[in-house]
A and B are shown apart, each in its own frame.
Chain A
């Protein structure tokens, strides 16, 4: 069985904005192994959500995807696929806002059973049994009673568990998570993160988790990709990326996060704004805000380059970060 589950090469997403074509995702390449949790961090507008959604073709009307996406549907190596063929057959997605993502006119049990009934051909009774089994799996108390309730009758945390159960109902190999804990309280968020990690261990499914919250990604993910202005600027094992960034943007981002250790130091922050997709300049897109920028940064060809095992950065002067 091939270890590789997903391969994305040179992904480009173009969107229509005010009659002009912009490219908010511009040349993203990444790979994912079976059972791996990959985090994609980035600030609003960095293209992280579009990257995630493009895997299932869930993009705004009028957008176009270019690039090579391959997914290992069976035990074979990854192969090109059409989004419709894998949605529900190997890839599921979980959204941020469980209230708007769950159909309000369906009872919880029917919602969870819908996937297995369509994709696996279960009848009504089998579907109900499967729904209750899944609700137990994701830790919903009183599944029999709750399966007859409506989405609006559940709390935010339970709704998110229902969405996870729905996503798991078709036994996916890959679950895409689009900020699924952002709307939740910390205690509930912690439970959901624990649940995702536990499910990964038990079911050996891979997860791509998109979030703006570095602290959350640091806890959950095996590998972390940092996105800036539509491109991945750094990728590597989570702990290494956080502790020893190889890209100035990553470093600046990390020094903006309030640490849980008390420090009297001021947070650093990043001066300026990310560039607008309408005016992406050649060269490194972070250069105008970068404290280490050199003349060639604005002209050099950009690409993710491996700097050590498993680690890659797009910075052409990563040595500037660690003067030694």
Chain B
């Protein structure tokens, strides 16, 4: 594989409940597989959207890539070099993250300038005397007035804070920017310019963008490729337009049907997706979507489907992903 960012069989586990209680009951401690054998790759300069419902593991995937959680197994390679749990500062710099809530991810007791300067100094991005100038340049980059460097986060609006969050990530001159629900908390009029900013940065700095969101319309707007995650596994992966126009996995199809669509008239409540995802501690056998799937058949409870598909098409993890359309057309 020669992909820029290559994630193979990534698995992240979290022990649940109290270890002592489990020991006293002489039971093994329950383990939640938040991410289960996830594989995907991202090309340099590409923008990939990871979509899924809450609890599907999309944020955990991001955290594993940045190095905030340690994978139980699997490999993450950046430009051919494996990324391990303990990373050098130089490696850490290459992947940066923007978080959902800029209100709580910025240090309230530091001015914007000190937030940025601290990073520039610790990582020795520029010589000390150039730090103030670089802070100013970063503000230009995220389209904030330089005068705002003196401000504390609480004085800024949500959109401005999120721009500072992006400036902070960009301070380290990363190659990959991971945005974890970065616009979810913003009003649409503020969200739109932030999305535009992400696009501009990608074009001008050649950034690779990993965009994690539950909002299909946002992902469609910003990504070249989409990875759909359900209960810790990738169920579909393909070019954005292909996935949205011709979804192959019944979950993707249902998710698209359920999403409210601005500019498209539809009746709510007509999606095939009923009920809610099963408990991640007690997964169904075989395909984990089968309990909510309109196509579920016997094979689905016995064999876990793998991601597959013809070349140049989206890949889907469903036994019927490609059969069903042939019988239809």
User: Assuming the A-B contacts A214-B262, A267-B195, are A256 and B276 also in contact, with contact meaning beta carbons closer than 8 angstroms in the complex?
Assistant: no
What is the CB-to-nearest-CB distance from B187 to chain A, in angstroms, rounded to a whole number?
Answer: 4
Binds A, one of B34-42, B167-175, B210-218: B210-218
User: Could you list 21 A-B pairs, sorted by A, with CB under 8 Å?
Assistant: A157-B276, A185-B214, A186-B53, A186-B258, A186-B259, A187-B53, A187-B271, A187-B273, A193-B260, A194-B267, A213-B260, A242-B262, A252-B189, A256-B189, A257-B192, A257-B217, A258-B262, A259-B263, A267-B195, A269-B189, A269-B193
Chain B residues closer than 8 Å to A190, beta-carbon distance: 257-260, 268-271, 273
Instruction: Indicate if B107 sits at the interface (CB-CB under 8 A).
Output: no
Complex: A158 Cα to B276 Cα, angstroms: 9
In the complex the two chains form, is B264's CB within 8 Å of A261's CB?
yes
Partner of B188, one of A155, A214, A220, A262: A214
A-B residue pairs, 5 tightest by C-beta: A194-B269, A193-B268, A267-B192, A269-B192, A190-B258
B265: interface (CB < 8 Å): yes
Question: Interface residues of B, CB < 8 Å — how many?
Answer: 45
With A and B bound together, what is the CA distance between A189 and B268 in angstroms?
Answer: 9
Which of A255, A257, A273 has the most chain B CB atoms closer than 10 A to its own CB? A257
- Is the Cβ of B259 less than 8 Å from the Cβ of A260? yes
Contact indicator B269/A197 (Cβ below 8 Å): yes
- Check A212–B268 contact: CB distance below 8 A: no
Say whether A218 faces chain B, with CB atoms less than 8 Å apart: yes
A270 interface residue, CB < 8 Å from B?
yes
Contact with B along A136-156 (1 / 0, CB 8 A): 000001000000000000010
What residue in chain B is nearest A268 (Cβ atoms)?
Answer: B192
Mask, A247-277, CB within 8 Å of B = 1, is 0000011011111111100111110010000
Q: Which residues of A contact B271 (CB under 8 A)?
A: 187, 190-191
In the bound complex, CA of A195 to CA of B270 (Å): 10
Instruction: Say whether B244 faces chain A, with CB atoms less than 8 Å apart.
Output: yes
- Judging by beta carbons under 8 Å apart, are A219 and B260 in contact? yes
Q: Report the Cα distance A248→B108, complex, angstroms.
A: 36
Tell me if A239 counts as interface (CB < 8 A to partner B).
yes
Q: Give the distance to chain B from A264, nearest Cβ to Cβ, in Å.
A: 10
Contact indicator B263/A261 (Cβ below 8 Å) = yes
**Cβ B269 vs Cβ A195 within 8 A:** yes
Whole-angstrom distance between the alpha carbons of A241 and B181 in the complex? Answer: 29
Interfacial residues of chain A within 140-183, with CB under 8 A of chain B in the complex? 141, 155, 157-158
| Contact of B266 with A219 in the complex, beta carbons under 8 Å | yes
Chain A residues closer than 8 Å to B199, beta-carbon distance: 266
The answer to whether B195 and A220 have CB atoms under 8 Å apart is: no
Which listed residue, A193, A215, A239, A273, touches B217 by the CB 8 Å rule? A215
**CB-CB < 8 A to A304: which residues of B?**
none
Say yes or no for B54: interface residue by CB 8 A criterion: yes
Cβ contact within 8 Å between A269 and B190: yes
Number of chain A residues whose Cβ lies closer than 8 Å to a Cβ of chain B: 45
**Considering the chains assembled together, what is the distance between the CA atoms of A244 and B179 in angstroms?**
34
A198 CB-CB contact with B under 8 Å: yes
Q: Which B-chain residue is minimally distant from A195 (CB atoms)?
A: B269
CB distance from B223 to the nearest CB of A (A): 11
Which B residue sits closest to A214, measured CB to CB? B262
* One of B189, B244, B275, B276 near A270 (C-beta < 8 A): B189
**For the complex, what is the distance from the CA of A219 to the CA of B260, rounded to whole Å?**
7
Known: A43-B189, A260-B217, A262-B240. A269 touches B196 (CB 8 A): yes
| Complex partner residue of A266 from B196, B265, B268, B275, CB under 8 angstroms | B196
State the CA gap A141–B274 with chains docked (Å): 11
Looking at the assembled complex, report how far the CB atom of B230 sits from the nearest CB atom of chain A, in whole angstroms. Answer: 11
B residues 152-198 touching A (CB-CB < 8 Å): 157-158, 187-193, 195-196
Known contacts A191-B274, A269-B190, A269-B196, A257 near B268 by CB under 8 Å? no
Which residue of A has the minimal Cβ distance to B266? A219
Instruction: Write the chain B residue with the least CB distance to A260.
Output: B261
Least Cβ distance of A196 to chain B in Å?
8
Q: Which of B196, B217, B218, B254 contacts A187 (CB 8 A)?
A: B254
In chain B, residues 222-256, which have Cβ atoms closer than 8 Å to a Cβ of chain A?
240-241, 244, 254-255
B270-286 near A? 1/0 per residue, CB < 8 Å: 11011110000000000
Q: What residue of chain A has the Cβ atom nearest to residue B265's Cβ?
A: A239
Chain A's closest residue to B275 (CB) is: A141
B146 close to chain A: CB less than 8 A: no
Set of chain A residues within 8 Å of B275, measured between Cβ atoms:
141
Query: Per-residue CB proximity of B136-152 to A under 8 Å, as 1/0?
Result: 00000000000000000
Q: Which of B262, B265, B266 contacts A259 (CB 8 A)?
A: B262
Complex formed: what's the CA distance from A141 to B276 in Å? 12
Of A43, A194, A214, A258, the residue contacting B268 (CB under 8 A) is A194
- Kindly state the separation between the CA atoms of A213 and B220 in the bound complex, as whole angstroms: 17
Give the nearest-CB partner of B158 in chain A.
Answer: A44
* Residues of chain B lying within 8 A (CB to CB) of residue A188: 276
> Which chain A residue lies CB-closest to B56?
A185
Task: Determine if A65 is an interface residue (Cβ-Cβ < 8 Å).
Answer: no
Is A290's beta carbon under 8 Å from chain B?
Answer: no
CA gap between A44 and B259 in the complex, in Å: 22
Q: Identify B260's interface contact among A212, A215, A267, A270, CB under 8 A.
A: A215
Contact A218 B260 (CB under 8 A): yes
Q: How far is the CB of B91 from chain A (nearest CB, A)?
A: 33
Nearest CB of chain A from residue B183's CB, rounded to whole Å: 10
B221 at the interface (CB under 8 A from A): yes
